[in-house]
Amino acid sequence: MTQDITPFPHSEGDRSLDAAGRRPIVNMIDGSVLADSRDVAAFFCKQHYAVLRDVRNLIAKEPSLGLRNFVCFKNNDLTGETTSHYLMDRDGFTLLAMGFTGQKAIKWKLSYIEAFNSMEASLRAPRITFDPSDPRMLLACFEHLQKQVAEKDGVIALQAKGLEKLERIEGADGSMCITDAAKTLGTRPRDLFALMNARRWIFKRPGNSSWLAYQDKIQAGLMEHDDHLYRDGQDRERVATRALVTAKGLVRLAEILNEPLH
């Protein structure tokens, strides 16, 4: 028998993994799903010679099992001695496992049978082959490619929008008032004021109408203060402190505006 072996696929979270870290192992050999007596012995914490004895007892009682459900292989181990092992199908394993007893035996038997079922299901799964002469296949391929192109175009458009915003930011000269920062960022001033207030960038003192920057934002280089002249309602010249957004703060605000809403 030519052994074209494909191991049973499993993941780290496979529920067939037991507390000792063992997994039931089955292999696809020449289109058949088979278990090895050595792997069965290891999984059920048995000596291999005991499993071989049980298999031979089954074949002695029903010789046809040796032709249909169990295949014996002999090979030389590292010491040069000839050792035997059996490959068995699911029915052979089921017959063999009937004699396994113990508190966890049923659970382990079910895990092994599940491994057989999973491998056999993968064999039965339909395999799709591409036929270039089939117009339906070509249409499906074309639609898939169109979808991929549309997704890439969407990503490029988002990147272009971000690049345009960064270009406006890079063109900004020094610090600016929050109203000018809103224009540079392409958002409404009242929305930016509300955002900066909610994110604890700016605040107002009781009885004062001017926005001031939080000290931690100033220390981080995101904000700064300056004094500017203005005229009050009686046309008197006054000096007021106002909050300015630095170039570094402008970049950070652009990142915040692009964050997804939660």
Instruction: For 117-133, write each residue's pLDDT tens digit.
Output: 888 887 776 666 666 77
Q: Whole-angstrom distance between the N-terminal and C-terminal Cα of the chain?
A: 60
Residue with the two structure tokens 């064999």: 123
**Alpha helical stretches, state H, the chain:** 37-43, 48-61, 65-68, 90-97, 105-124, 135-170, 178-185, 189-198, 215-219, 247-257
For residue 183, give both structure tokens.
């224009």
pLDDT per residue as tens, the chain (262 positions): 333 333 344 433 344 444 445 678 888 887 788 999 999 999 988 999 999 999 999 999 999 898 889 998 887 666 666 778 999 998 999 999 888 887 777 888 888 988 888 888 877 766 666 667 777 777 777 787 888 888 877 766 665 665 555 555 544 557 888 998 898 888 899 999 999 999 999 998 887 878 899 999 999 999 998 876 667 677 777 777 889 999 888 888 888 887 544 3
Helix or strand holding residue 7 (H, E): strand 5-7
The model carries a pTM of 0.40
State the pLDDT at residue 238: 72
CA distance 230 to 76: 98
Sign of the torsion angle spanned by Cα atoms 85, 91, 94, 98 = negative
